[in-house]
């Protein structure tokens, strides 16, 4: 199962405590800023060989690691302190290393 970029944006909003609990999405300006960080982190992960998913299909197994990394990068833009970015990178490296070839597992149907 995977989450969308919009769901990742919401998760990051909650991590940075910029999304009130009574709302389900960021306002347009905050959402656009978070999207820039999501795209930047994803591009960097691709360069590092750590991203094997499409932009709108983030695997459940990687969502927290990616959210932590993006939140860590975006925190200063929202005048926040955030200390989980390094943990996110460590989790993502462990996740990718545990995959047989770093590529999505393909199901075989009989």
Higher pLDDT, 1 or 35: 35
- Flag the least confident range among 31-35, 56-60, 105-109: 105-109
User: Quick one: pLDDT at residue 21?
Assistant: 86
Split at pLDDT 50, 70, 90, the class of 102 is very low
Q: Which of 54, 55, 56, 49 has the alpha carbon at shortest distance from 92?
A: 49
The whole-number average pLDDT for the span 78-86 is 94
Structure tokens, 68: 């932590």
Average pLDDT over the chain, rounded to whole?
Answer: 90
């Amino acid at each position: 199962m995977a989450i969308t970029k919009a769901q990742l944006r919401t998760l990051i909003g909650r991590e940075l405590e910029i999304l009130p609990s009574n709302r389900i999405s960021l306002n347009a300006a905050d959402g656009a800023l978070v999207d820039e960080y999501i795209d930047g982190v994803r591009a960097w992960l691709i360069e590092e060989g750590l991203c094997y998913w499409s932009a709108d299909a983030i695997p459940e197994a990687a969502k927290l690691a990616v959210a932590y990394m993006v939140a860590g990068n975006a925190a200063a833009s929202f005048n926040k302190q955030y200390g989980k970015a390094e943990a996110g990178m460590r989790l993502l490296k462990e996740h990718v290393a545990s995959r047989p070839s770093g590529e999505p597992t393909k199901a075989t149907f009989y």
